[in-house]
């Protein structure tokens, strides 16, 4: 290759990229074919971006207006070259594109790949969206020669994937007239990719539906043969598209390597016309919990790619993958202004409603398939209960919960309300971070004794949406750890009698505990909700739910937490024994009061406020035989 005299610049990859490349180079993943899909997907995106820029600058196309991707095989040099005539890159864009990982979620990506490798040995790496870097699974060295459309200069990026890369300018005769040429110098064990039958069949299977024609050359001097026509899948009649076609398009467009759990393909007509091809993934995308919570739906206008940053779906549906192709949006609208378009607002509303409608249909037509979707994405969908008031009713119908009555099964609110007890006026819930701990919470004992089902809410978002004034069929949601209960109104099972009122001695001990603890708690009272445990903590009647309070405090969004209420089981043998202690045992009773508070804190997943004092009191109590 002819180059200029300018010395190449040697640079190091960003730390995260270096780690990723190490995983690529040293991986033992069996399905290495994914690199073809990723590089062809990048090439197709480059062609689509050129089509968009050429709307306002037609001169960028020159005499070469037809987009194409050409794959050249060279068994003699053991190389595979993937070339496009798309937008190309400047040297600065090369550094940004190939020296860094642009999207957030990098740490999760690393951990996901490493975990899959560690746990399963040789699994599909494509589901982690590794893009260009997957080339190093099969190549000892990768050269990228590129020229940006409309530019006079070209550059070459080269790396062996071991931590550094070089960039230098190249003579124009050695570079594409426009676009990018990726040259893979294959490892010996990857030589089979220079053979046309294998590579052609792989491309057809994985990338046959990208919206850019693909050609293959069996040797560098051979005539190119078209192996994919570039017809946009979403423009074809549904009757002509197979399940396999949808799956391969999904994998190519979404950067996933699973299968879609649900496929939506329809054309909306009326005031605005647009086509939707969208998928619910079968597995969680690695970037599901990106801090920016961005969606991954692409926007086209009359088959011209516009942007993948338009918020087509609300953030709580960000797991969806696919595209919308509008017939009504202007082609020359800026990407910055697109979000303010009333046409896009109509599309957003229509697509969101359709997605929720299709999920609702799936929940009734194939409950098992829907529960897999909910298991993967329920924690994200529930964000809509807090953010999307207009669709809250539909989202509540979609919601599924683990409860004290369901075991490992999921329950709908319709199931829950069908089992309401006599005089039950609320839907009870408990929030926390661990289902097992929630299920064994002392605050649930009185509800369990009366057969009252309680929702066990272990996702962070649960602490927010349940406190936002939501109700279901007129029944409000009420925390079992907040305020007084109304359990006395709900009858016990047949044959069981309500517990007797606390004795005078126990009532006196409860008053003593309240006096002893002082402002460490807001109140101490006999409990209706405890049947087995001695004590528990609850939030005041008009206070914040305790789990929400913990979350806000942990995030630095709460200056001061409210003092909890200590509830005491007046029928518990320990409490009865403590109430019988004589006044001469004042010090022991004081120790007992503080230990009861610390016991309640521990049961609530907290530590005693003063660990040394807790240890000292516990030692004294054990030594004295309490």
- Dump pLDDT digits (tens) for 270-327: 889 999 999 999 998 877 877 677 788 989 888 777 888 889 999 999 999 999 999 8
Question: 23 pLDDT exceeds 90?
Answer: no
SS3 call for 603:
helix
User: What tokens appear for 271 in the block?
Assistant: 């005031």
Name which of 117, 148, 147 is nearest 130 in CA terms: 117
- Dump pLDDT digits (tens) for 143-184: 999 999 999 999 999 998 887 889 999 887 788 999 999 999
**pLDDT the model gives residue 528:** 86
Distance CA 537, CA 626 (A): 22
User: What tokens appear for 437 in the block?
Assistant: 């701990």
Half-sphere CA count of 289, side-chain side, radius 13 A = 13
Q: Rounded to a whole number, what is the distance in angstroms from the first to the last CA of the chain?
A: 87
Delimit the domains of the chain by residue range. Answer: 9-228, 234-372, 504-539+556-623
Distance CA 247, CA 259 (A): 6
Q: In the chain, pLDDT over 70 holds for what percent of residues?
A: 88
Name which of 615, 536, 519, 624 is nearest 578 in CA terms: 624
CATH code for 504-539+556-623?
A: 1.20.120.790
**pLDDT the model gives residue 333:** 63
Question: 266 pLDDT exceeds 60?
Answer: yes
Of 350-359, 443-452, 577-586, the range with the lowest mean pLDDT is: 577-586
Q: 189 with 42: CB under 8 angstroms?
A: no
- Dump pLDDT digits (tens) for 500-526: 677 889 999 999 999 999 999 999 999
Question: 124 pLDDT exceeds 60?
Answer: no
Q: Which of 243-252, 333-342, 386-395, 482-491 has the highest mean pLDDT?
A: 386-395
The values of phi and psi at residue 382, to 5°, are: -65, -15
Distance CA 85, CA 72 (A): 14
User: What tokens appear for 432 in the block?
Assistant: 């926390």
The residues pairing with 546 across neighbouring beta strands, listed in sequence order, are none
CA 377, distance to chain mean position in Å, is 7
**pLDDT the model gives residue 99:** 67
Pick the CATH number of 234-372 from 3.40.190.10, 3.40.50.300, 3.40.718.10, 3.30.230.80: 3.30.230.80
pTM of the entire structure? 0.73
**pLDDT the model gives residue 498:** 65
Of 19-23, 161-165, 439-443, the range with the lowest mean pLDDT is: 19-23
**CATH class of domain segment(s) 9-228:** alpha beta
User: What tokens appear for 310 in the block?
Assistant: 């338009």
Question: 39 pLDDT exceeds 80?
Answer: yes
Question: 5 pLDDT exceeds 60?
Answer: no
SS3 call for 115:
helix
User: What tokens appear for 405 in the block?
Assistant: 């009555």
Q: 392 with 465: CB under 8 angstroms?
A: no
**pLDDT the model gives residue 72:** 98
Distance CA 453, CA 366 (A): 25
């Amino acid at each position: 290759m002819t180059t200029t005299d300018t010395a190449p610049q040697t640079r190091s990859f960003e730390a995260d990229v270096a780690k990723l490349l190490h995983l690529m180079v040293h991986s033992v993943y069996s399905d290495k074919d994914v690199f073809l899909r990723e590089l062809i997907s990048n090439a197709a995106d480059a062609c689509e971006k050129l089509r968009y820029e050429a709307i306002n600058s037609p001169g960028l196309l020159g005499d070469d207006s037809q987009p194409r991707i050409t794959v050249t095989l060279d068994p003699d040099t053991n190389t595979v070259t993937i070339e496009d005539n798309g937008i190309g890159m400047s040297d600065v864009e090369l550094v940004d594109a190939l020296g860094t990982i642009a999207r957030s979620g990098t740490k999760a990506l690393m951990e996901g790949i490493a975990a899959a490798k560690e746990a399963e040995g040789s699994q599909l790496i494509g589901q982690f969206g590794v893009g260009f870097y997957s080339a190093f699974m099969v190549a000892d060295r990768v050269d990228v020669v590129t020229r940006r459309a409309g530019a006079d200069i070209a550059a070459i990026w080269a790396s062996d994937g071991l931590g550094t890369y070089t960039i230098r300018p190249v003579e124009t005769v050695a570079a594409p007239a426009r676009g990018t040429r990726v040259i893979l110098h294959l490892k010996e064990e990857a030589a089979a990719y220079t053979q046309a039958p294998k590579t052609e069949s792989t491309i057809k299977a994985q990338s046959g539906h990208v919206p850019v024609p693909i050609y293959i050359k069996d040797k560098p001097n051979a005539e190119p043969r078209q192996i994919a026509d570039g017809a946009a899948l979403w423009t074809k009649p549904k009757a002509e598209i197979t399940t396999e076609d949808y799956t391969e398009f999904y994998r190519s467009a979404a950067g996933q390597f699973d299968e879609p759990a649900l496929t939506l393909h329809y054309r909306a007509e009326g005031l605005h016309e647009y086509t939707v091809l969208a998928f619910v993934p079968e597995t969680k995308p690695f970037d599901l919990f990106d801090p920016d919570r961005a969606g991954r739906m692409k926007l086209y206008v009359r088959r011209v790619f516009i942007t993948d940053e338009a918020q087509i779906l609300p953030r709580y549906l960000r797991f969806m993958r696919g595209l919308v192709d509008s017939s009504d949006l202007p082609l020359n609208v800026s990407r910055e202004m697109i979000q303010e378009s009333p046409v896009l607002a109509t599309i957003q509303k229509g697509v969101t409603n359709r997605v929720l409608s299709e999920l609702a249909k799936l929940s009734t037509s194939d409950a098992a398939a829907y529960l897999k979707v909910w298991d993967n994405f329920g924690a994200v969908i529930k964000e809509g209960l807090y953010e999307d008031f207009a669709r809250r009713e539909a989202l509540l119908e979609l919601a599924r919960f683990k409860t004290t009555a369901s075991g490992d099964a999921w329950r709908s609110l319709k199931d829950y309300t069908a089992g309401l007890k006599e005089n039950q006026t609320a839907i009870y819930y408990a929030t926390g971070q661990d289902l097992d701990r929630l299920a064994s919470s002392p605050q649930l004992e009185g509800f369990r004794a009366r057969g009252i089902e309680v929702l066990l809410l272990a996702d962070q978002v649960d602490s927010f949406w349940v406190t936002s004034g939501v109700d279901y069929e007129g029944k409000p949601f009420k925390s079992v750890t907040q305020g007084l209960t109304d359990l006395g109104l709900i009858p016990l099972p047949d044959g069981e009698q309500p517990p007797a009122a606390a004795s005078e001695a126990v009532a006196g001990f409860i008053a003593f505990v309240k006096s002893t603890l002082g402002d460490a708690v807001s109140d101490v009272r006999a409990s209706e909700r405890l049947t087995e445990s001695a004590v528990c903590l609850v939030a005041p009647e008009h206070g914040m739910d305790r789990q929400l309070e913990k979350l806000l405090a942990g995030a630095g969004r709460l200056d001061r937490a409210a003092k909890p209420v200590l509830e005491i089981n007046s029928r518990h043998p320990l409490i009865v024994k403590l109430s019988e202690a004589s006044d001469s045992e004042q010090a022991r009773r004081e120790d007992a009061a503080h230990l009861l508070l610390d016991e309640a804190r521990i049961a609530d997943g907290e530590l005693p406020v003063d660990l040394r004092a807790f240890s000292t009191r516990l030692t004294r109590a054990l030594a004295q035989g309490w």
